[in-house]
A and B are shown apart, each in its own frame.
Chain A
Amino acid sequence: MATFEVFGRRKWDAPMEHVGILHAPDAEAALVLARETHFRHDEGVEYAVCPSEHFHTQDPTLLERQVDISYRLQSGYSGFRDKREAARQAADARGRSDLRERPVPRRHGGEV
């Protein structure tokens, strides 16, 4: 008997998530048994199993952060209203304000 880790996908576009374990003699049996062990309430659209002995867990403290890494995140960028205004004023000073008068789509500059 061995322990298997069970992973399932809730929706076709969702990532595989860990949903639990089960005991089974081998992977083939684990695949059959996982259905009613973990997905009997329609919890997913796809699942997979992996022997627990091949499932390695990292010490979670390795992910703890003490140094600010917001430069890697969207939150690290701000103040765009002011920055755009500064660029407009610079454009005016360079005599380039006429570019702003050209027709553009009504809802332009769609943010990503």
Chain B
Amino acid sequence: MADLALPDLSTPRSQVLLAIADDALISGHRASHWTGVAPSLEEDLAFSTIAQAGINHADLWYQLVLDGTVDDVSAGVDALGLGREPEAYRHAIVCERPPRDFAYTLARHWVLDRFEAIRLASLAASTDPEVAALSVKLLHEHRYHLEHAQLWFDRLVRGGDEAADRLRDGFTQVLPEALGLFEPVEDEDQAVADGLLPVGHARLRERWLESAAPLLEQAGLADLVPAVDAAVPDEAAFGRRGCHTDDFVVDVWPEMTRLYREHPGARW
């Protein structure tokens, strides 16, 4: 896309918005795995909507990254969503993990959507009016995701030993890695000072813990609640700075971007 002049992606604004957009795109991409193979037809339909929302929301955030710098907005969105090298993606590593089993998928869904709702709620106060407006819109749509995630959380907890054990395994895998969601993007302090990101990722972690911990405790998962000062495990760290695992670099990224990359400038 040589003729497409993308904006400077290294600014704090771009980095913050790319983190949000990439979280949505990559977790949506992974959610689409369940299409046609979910444990029930009803769940199949539900997860497809969650996948579509991820892709759709990523599109909307990429449009804000572009900030009117390109004439062809769709081409600009695709250059961001599909045209970057793996190390330019800013999603947290927990988003790129494969769906594993349905219990892991549900545990991650629960964690990610509670996190996203909290981040969006804080972004509603952004000094960037477009960011604030989009956050309010998406927060509204997130309600379904939260209700859907909580629905299965409750039923797996009460669903007998095997379901509860599997959910516990899912949370055991997801919770430590979820801490990578709260790592700051490059120059995040600047974005916070500007008011673009009213609450930095580190403080979002406190809010997320406050909201998630009581529910995890009630579900008998108190021992899995991350400590306030727990470090991000090495294997899930620095996603926000572009470090990714083979789950992204070898699995998601080549498949997701190959067709786009093989036909530079083509229209589809």
- Direct A/B contact, Cβ within 8 angstroms: yes
B137 x A62 contact (CB < 8 A): no
Q: Is B144's CB within 8 Å of the partner chain A?
A: yes
Contact residues in B for A66 (Cβ distance below 8 Å): 136-138, 140-141
Nearest A-chain residue to B134, judged by Cβ: A67
Q: Is A111's CB within 8 Å of the partner chain B?
A: no
Contact of A62 among B52, B60, B138, B144 (CB under 8 A): B144
Q: Is B56's CB within 8 Å of the partner chain A?
A: yes
A71–B141 CA distance with the chains assembled, in angstroms:
16
B138 x A67 contact (CB < 8 A): yes
A67 x B147 contact (CB < 8 A): no
Q: Is A53's CB within 8 Å of the partner chain B?
A: no
A67 x B137 contact (CB < 8 A): yes
* Chain B interface residue count, Cβ-Cβ cutoff 8 angstroms: 13
Q: Is B84's CB within 8 Å of the partner chain A?
A: no
Distance in Å from the Cβ of B25 to the closest Cβ of chain A? 15
Q: Is B258's CB within 8 Å of the partner chain A?
A: no
A62 x B56 contact (CB < 8 A): no
Q: Is A98's CB within 8 Å of the partner chain B?
A: no
Q: Is B143's CB within 8 Å of the partner chain A?
A: yes
A81–B144 CA distance with the chains assembled, in angstroms:
38
Q: Is A64's CB within 8 Å of the partner chain B?
A: yes
Distance in Å from the Cβ of A93 to the closest Cβ of chain B? 15
B141 x A62 contact (CB < 8 A): no
Contact residues in A for B52 (Cβ distance below 8 Å): 72
Contact residues in A for B147 (Cβ distance below 8 Å): 62
Distance in Å from the Cβ of A82 to the closest Cβ of chain B? 13
Instruction: Give chain A interface residues in 57-112, CB to chain B under 8 Å.
Output: 62, 64-67, 69, 71-72
A67 x B144 contact (CB < 8 A): no
Nearest A-chain residue to B137, judged by Cβ: A66
- Would you list the 3 A-B pairs with minimal beta carbon distance, nearest first? A66-B137, A66-B140, A67-B141
- Chosen A-B contacts, 6 in total, with CB atoms closer than 8 Å, are A62-B144, A66-B140, A67-B57, A67-B137, A67-B140, A67-B141
The chain B residues found within 8 Å of chain A, CB to CB, are: 52-53, 56-57, 60, 136-138, 140-141, 143-144, 147
Known: A66-B141, A71-B56. 19 other contacts (CB 8 A): A62-B143, A62-B144, A62-B147, A64-B140, A65-B141, A66-B136, A66-B137, A66-B138, A66-B140, A67-B53, A67-B56, A67-B57, A67-B60, A67-B137, A67-B138, A67-B140, A67-B141, A69-B56, A72-B52
